[in-house]
Amino acid sequence: MKPIRKVAFVVNEEKPGAHELAHTLIAVARNAGVKMKQTTRFPLPKGYLSDCDACCVIGGDGTLLGVARESARAKVPIIGVNRGSLGFLTTFSSDEARAHFPDLLQGHFQVDYRAMLDCSTGPGLHDLALNDVLIKDQINSRIVRLEVFAGKELVTDYTCDGLIFSTPTGSTAYNLSAGGPIIHPDAGVIAMTPICPHTLSNRAIIFRQDVKLRVINRTPNSRLLVAMDGQRNLKVGMDAPIEITISKLRLPLAQRSDYSHFSVVRTKLKWNGDLVDKPGL
């Protein structure tokens, strides 16, 4: 990658140690002659990253989700530094960031392009999600009946607490908690996972990436909540269908050259098992 000439820092100061780490990395960038801008605001305002070569996010995965839309629109890679808990997206630890930031500024990283969902709830009402789209009743305790189409083909009616539509990146988030599958981020698919379905045979379904999914509310006197990455809500009309597709935009995520997805999964989910050196492996 080309050397970074201007970097934006997005710092979640509610995370312990984030402010101090940002101070250290900003000093490294300043000493390298890199131009900077800094904010503690996220989601980012539209156009914030338009003149940047990279964006360093210091916080947790939620902080990075608040930057993802603008990163995808501006095609600016995110360097995610974890000061949260799990850190599936913010894959650089504080120690790794301190040790490797000079090299990162020189462009010594690879970019992993992650799929995003585009959700529409009506004319001019659409948004992007990196992890997932959640559809449920506006009242938490209400069960909903949702009719799902894949293209023109009826999938089925779901009587459930809600539906989660997930990217491969988001498969380790709400989708996993609801019993959905873990999906490699390079897989070109959308996962749909029902939440507490009343029909026990209703399970997660994997759709190809070029599908157009449509959800129709068949619950009498009910309004739906559509949550994007658990952070932003889309308005939905009483009878308006909800459409979900893979976006043409993709999130550029900076990774170390030796990044291993399954190494991250093993670490974050506390799986057992170490790589054993054997002939032929």
Q: What is the pLDDT of residues 207-254, one digit of tens each?
A: 999 999 999 999 998 899 999 999 999 999 778 899 999 999 999 999
pTM of the model: 0.93
DSSP type of residue 180: P
As to burial, measured by CB atoms within 10 angstroms (0-12 exposed, 13-18 middle, 19+ buried), residue 241 is middle
Collapse the DSSP code of 57 into the 3-class scheme (helix H, G, I; strand E, B; otherwise coil) and give the result: strand
Contact 55, 77 (CB under 8 A): yes
Q: Which class would CATH give 116-248?
A: mainly beta
The tally of CA atoms less than 13 A away on the side-chain side of residue 213 is 28
Out of 51, 53, 61, 239, pick the active-site residue: 61
Which stretch of 9-13, 35-39, 77-81, 84-88 has the lowest confidence by average pLDDT? 84-88
61 is catalytic: yes
Give the right CATH number for 6-109+256-268 from 3.40.50.10330, 2.60.40.10, 3.40.1350.10, 3.20.20.10.
Answer: 3.40.50.10330
Domain boundaries, the chain: 6-109+256-268, 116-248
Q: Phi/psi zone of residue 165: left (φ > 0), alpha (ψ -120 to 50 degrees), beta?
A: beta
Residue 281 confidence (pLDDT) above 60? no
Residue 11: what pLDDT? Answer: 98
